Structure 1
Amino acid sequence: MGHWLQRLWPASLLGRLTLVMVAGLLVTQLAAGAIWASQLRAKSQVEVQSAAQYVAHSAAGAIRFFRSLPPAYRMLIIQQLREMGGTRFFVNFNHAYVPVEQIAPHPLAQSVIATVAATLKSDLPHSPGFRLAFAWPDRLVVAEHDVRLNDLPNSWVQHVLLLQPDPAPILVIQTEIEPGNWLYMAALMPNPYFLNTGDPFAWDRLMPQAASLAVVLLLCLLVVRSITRPLAALSETAAALGQGHDEDVKPLPETGSREFINTARAFGAMRERIGRYIEDRERLFISISHDLRTPITRLKLRSELLDDEALRNEFEEDLDELDMMVKGALQCVKDSDIHENPAEIRLDALLGRMVRSAQLAGQTVAYEPSGVTVRGKPLALKRALGNLIDNALFYGARAEIDVREEPGSVLINVRDHGPGVPEEALGSLSDPYVRLAHGREKNDGGMGLGLGIARGIVEAHGGRLELSNHPDGGLNALVRLPA
C-alpha cells in the first residue's frame, strides 16, 4: 500500500500542490454534498409525507361521497364530473381489482404509499382495504379488458393527469365499495415530480456544482503555477551555476511574491560572491606560483654551496618535494577549472582516440563502441576520463571501458585488473595527496591528484564518480553523467 502511495505522490512541487489542492477541494465538495444530500432527503421526506396526507384525506372524502350514492347514480355523477373538466381524481368503477404495472422501487414512492395507506385506514376504519400503487401514464390500465389511459378521450384526463410533455408518476387507489364493485381513483401528487426533488445527484443539481468546482480548480492551478514557476527558474539557474555554466546563467527576475524577490536578490548576491571567490582563488594561485618559484630556485642554488654532501642532498630532496607540491596544486586548480563552452560529445570518438593512443604505446585497453552522446565540456571531460584510464593502466596493467545508458543517466565504467583497494580506503581515495602503499611503490613522483581532478570535473558536469572493487579483482571507476 505504501509503495503505491509513493508512486502516486508527484515528485515536483507543482504536482504535489496541485494534487493536495484538488484532493482537498474534492473532499470538501463531497462532504458538503453528502451533508446537503442528507438535508435535502430529510426535507423531501417531510414535504412528501405532508402531501401524501393531503391526498389521502381528499381520497377518503371522495370514497365517502361515492359510497353514499346509490349504485345507479354513480356513473352518472362521474360522467357529469368529466364533462365539467374533472376533479382532483380520475374516477372509474370496475367489477374487480385492475392490476397495475408499478414504477421501479423508490424510497419516496414507498413512503407516500405507506402514509396514504395509514391515513386512509385512519379516516375509513371500516373499509375492507385499499390497493395502492404508482404507475407511469403510458402503461396505466384504468378499466377492465385492458383499457389503458391512452385509450381514453383527452378531455377526460387533460385537467386531472399530466401526460405531456414530461409524464409524471400517477398514484392509483383502488378499494371495494361493496362486493363486486371496485372504486378506481388516479391522481397526481401536489408536486408531480416529487421523485426528482429527493435526488441530490440529479443532472440539474450536479451541473452548477461541477461548474463551480471547475472554476475553483482552474484558479487554484493558476495560483499554484504562478508560485512554482519562479521556483523552477531558481532551480534551473542554481543547477547551471553549480555545473560551472555561469556565463549562460541569466539573472533571476525580481518579480512575483515578496519572498521570491528576496530569494532572487539573495541568490544574485551569492552568485557574485562565488564569482569573486573563484577569481580571487585563481589570482592567489598565480601569485603563489610566481612568488614561490623564485625563493625555491634561490634555495636550490644556495644548497649547492653546502660543503656537507649528505646535508646538501637532504636539502635538495626537500626542495624538490616542495616544488612538486606547488606544481601539483597549480595543476589541480587548472585541470578542475577549464573554461570552455558545453557541446554535444560523441563518446565513441572521445574514448576511441584515447584508446588508440594507449594501444600505440603498447598498453592493453578494451572498448566497444556504444553510440552514446552526452553534453559537456569536451576538454575537461577528456582530462577526467584520461586520468581514470591512466590510473587503470598504470596500477592495473590493463583496462576495460564500458559505456551504457540508463533512464536519465549515461554510465562510463573504467575497470583495471590491479590488486584493488581496501574497502575502508575507498571513501578517501579521491582526496588530494592521498596515496596508498601500492601507489607509492609504483610511482614515487605522483601526488595523488588524478582522482580528485576527475571527481571535480565529473561533479561540475552534474554527475558523480563512484569507486568500488570488482568482484573478480581490480578497481571499478564508474562515471555517472546526466543523459
Structure 2
Amino acid sequence: MMKRLIPDTIAARALMVLIIGLALSHLASMAMYTTDLSNTLISADGRHIADRIAAIDRVIRKTSPDEREMMATRISDDTLKVSITPHNPAGEMTNPGTRQARLLTILKTHLDPVQGRRIYLRVLGKKPVRTAENRNETAETVLVSLSLPEGKWLNFTIPLQSPARFLTLRFGLSMLVMLLAIVIFSAMVVNHLTRPLAEFAQAAKRLGVDVNAPPLPERGPAEIRKATQAFNQMQNRIRRFVEDRTQMLAAISHDLGTPIARMRLRAEFVDDEDQQKKMLADLDDMERMVSSALSFARDDAIREPVEKVDLRTLLQRVCDDLSDTGYAVTLDIDDAVLAYYCHPSALRRALGNLIENAARYGGTARVFIKRETERIFIVIEDTGPGIPPGRQEDVFKPFFRLETSRNRETGGTGLGMTVARTIIHAHGGDIRLENRKEGGLTVEVRLPVVSS
C-alpha cells in the first residue's frame, strides 16, 4: 500500500519530501505561535481582570457597610457581575487548572495587602455572556470571592477571554498560500535539478541505438557533471572499440582476399575437373564467409542516416523481392500509411533475413503488423517444424545453424539472424521467438515508436 503512495519519479519524490517537510515545519511553527499567543493573551487578560477586581475592591472597602450591596449592584455590568453574600459561594478550589492558578497568583499580587484576607476562585464552566462589542458568546466563566472585614464576601463573576485557537480560517488560508508557494517554487527547483537526469537517461537510451551520437553536455550539479563525464568517456571507448574491430576485420578481409585470389588462379590449372569444381566451391564459400563476417562487424546500420519511411511500403518491397525469387510470402496489412523513422537499408536487410528464413525453413511466411501506443510489432509466422525452446537463443549466435551443412542451397554461414537482431537492437528494438501451437514458428520484431 505504501509503495502505491510513493511517486515513481525522482522529481515527484523530491517534491513530495519538500512539501511534507515544509508543511510539518509550518504546522510546528504555527502551533508554537498559537501557544505563545495564548499565553500572552491569558496573562494580559489575567492582569486586566485583576486590575478591575482590585479597583472595585478598593471602592467597596471605602464604602460604608450599609451601602456596599447597592454599590456592588451599580458597578455590575454585562461583562462583570459583582455581588455581596453572607457566605463564600466559591468554596475551596481543588486541582486548579494552569490558567486558574495563574489568575489566582496575579490577583494576589494586584490586591491591596489586607490582614487576614482570604481569596477563593471557582470555575463555573462555559456560560453565555455579552461581550464589550455587544455580542452574545459563550465563554469560560470564573467566580472570585474575597473576604470582607465584617464577615461577608465580595464576589465577582467574570468571563475569561478565549485562548487563541489553532485551527482557524486564517490558519487554513496561510497553510493554503504556503503550500501553493512551495509547490510552485519547489516544482521549478526540482525540475531544474532533475532535468540533467532526464537528459542522461535519454543519452543512455540513444547510446544503445547510435554509438556515434554526440556527447552529452556536461552541466548541472557537480555529481551530474561527473556522471556525464564518465558516460561520455564510456561512449568514446565503445566507439573506439567498434572502430578498431571494424578496421581489424577489414584488414583481415583484405589480407585474405589476396591468397584466395591466388588459390582461385591455381585451381584453374588443376586437370581434374571434379577436383577443380570442389576447390572453386570451397573458395566461393570462403569468400562468402569473409564477406558476411565483415558485413556483420561493420556499423553501417548506425552510420546510415535516419529517414522517415512508410513501414508498410518497406515491408511490401521486401516481400515482393522474396516472392520474385520463388519464396511463398504473404503480407497481410491494410493500406494506411505507417510512418516510421529508421535506417531504411539496414531495417530492410534485417526484415529480409527474418522473412527469408521463415519462408526457406518454414515453407511459407505470413507477415503482418500490430500497432500499440509506444511500440510497433512486425510478426512473421511460418508453418515449419519450429525451433526447440532450448535452442531459440542459439540461432542468434554468430555462425550458428540448425541445419549443419554448409551447402549454399540449404543455408548460408549462420549470420542472418545475428545480423537481423544487431540491426533491430540498433533501432532500440528486440526480436522474440515462439513456437506456434498449431505448428511453426512466430518471429515477433518489436520496434519502439520514435518521433524523429
Match of 2:80 in 1: 89
- 8 A Cα contact 2:211 2:302, kept in partner: no
Q: Which residue number corresponds to residue 187 of structure 1?
A: 158
Question: 2:132 — aligned with what?
Answer: 162
Q: Give the counterpart of 1:405 among 361, 371, 374.
A: 371
Structure 1 counterpart of 2:158, one-letter code? A
Query: Hey, what does 2:313 align to over in structure 1?
Result: 349
Counterpart position of 2:334: 369
C-alpha displacement of 1:298: 0.5
Match of 1:288 among 226, 242, 252: 252
**Amino acid of the structure 1 residue aligned with 2:132:** L
Q: TM-score, normalised by structure 2?
A: 0.72
Q: CA deviation at 1:54?
A: 5.8
Tell me what 1:17 maps to. 14
Rate the CA distance shift 1:337–1:16 in 2: closer, same or farther, 3 A. Answer: same
- Post-superposition Cα deviations, 1:421-460, rounded to whole Å, max 9, x if no partner, equal 0111111111121100388789444111111111111111
TM superposition shift of 1:473: 1.6
User: Aligned partners of 2:68 and 2:241: how far apart in 1?
Assistant: 115
Q: Is the CA contact 1:395–1:442 (under 8 Å) kept in the aligned structure 2?
A: no
SS in 2 for 1:337: helix
1:132-176 per-residue CA deviation (whole Å, 9 max, x = no partner) reads 353455xx6xxxxxxxxxxxxxxxxxxxx412589784738699x
Hey, what does 2:419 align to over in structure 1? 453
Counterpart of 2:94?
Answer: none
Q: Displacement, 1:257?
A: 2.7
The Cα shift of 1:7 comes to 4.2
Once the two structures are superposed, what CA deviation does each residue of 1:51-96 show, in whole Å capped at 9, x if it has no partner? 899699879979x98xx966x97456634x47xxx69824589xxx
For the structure 1 residues 123 and 250, does the alpha-carbon distance in structure 2 shift closer, same or farther, using more than 3 Å as the test? farther
Aligned partner of 1:89: which letter?
A: L
Letter of the 1:187 partner, please give it: I
- Cα 1:40–1:237 shift into 2, 3 Å: same
Q: Which whole-Å CA distance do the structure 2 matches of 1:253 and 1:114 have between them?
A: 70
CA drift at 1:315: 4.6
Q: State yes or no: 1:253 paired with 2:248.
A: no
Cα offsets for 1:198-257 (capped at 9, x unmatched): x333344566666666656655544433332222222223333331274xx444333333
Superposed displacement of residue 464, structure 1: 1.0
d(CA) in 2 for partners of 1:166 and 1:379? 89
Q: Does 1:331 align with 2:295?
A: yes
Asked if residue 467 in structure 1 is aligned to residue 433 in structure 2, the reply is: yes
Shift of residue 369, structure 1, vs aligned partner: 1.9
- Cα deviation code 1:339-397 (max 9, x no counterpart): 33323333222223333444554624141327444322222222211221111111111
SS at match of 1:331: helix
Q: Which amino acid aligns with 2:73?
A: I
Alignment of structure 1 residues 207-222 onto 2, 5 Å: 220-222=186-188
Q: What is the one-letter code of the residue matched to 2:372?
A: E
Change (3 A) 1:391 1:88: closer
1:396 to 362, 375, 381: 362
Give the unaligned 5+ runs of structure 1: 94-109, 141-160, 176-182
Report the residue type matching 2:19 in the other structure. V
Q: 1:41 to 1:320 in 2, by over 3 A?
A: same
% same residue: 29
**Structure 2: 5+ residue stretches without partners:** 85-96, 108-116, 146-153
Give the aligned length.
Answer: 422
Deviation at 1:130, TM superposition (A): 8.6
* Deviation of the 1:477 alpha carbon: 1.1
Distance 2:231 2:122 in 1: 85
Contact kept? 2:327, 2:359, Cα under 8 Å: no
Q: Distance in 2 between matches of 1:224 and 1:69?
A: 78
Distance 2:344 2:403 in 1: 33
Q: Give the aligned residue type for 1:368.
A: I
**1:236 equivalent among 168, 181, 202:** 202
Structure 2 counterpart of 1:426, which letter?
A: Q
Amino acid at match of 1:195: P
Give the one of 168, 171, 175 matched to 2:141: 171
Which residue in the other structure is 1:96 paired with? none
Q: 2:190 aligns with which of 221, 224, 249?
A: 224
RMSD: 5.0
Q: 1 CA distance for matches of 2:119 and 2:192? A: 72
- Report what 1:319 is aligned to: 283
467 and 40 in structure 1: CA distance in 2 versus 1, 3 angstrom threshold:
farther
- Aligned equivalents of 1:16, 1:130: Cα separation in 2: 54
Q: Contact (CA 8 Å) 1:52, 1:115: kept in 2 or not?
A: no
How far apart, in 1, do the equivalents of 2:185 and 2:262 lie? 76
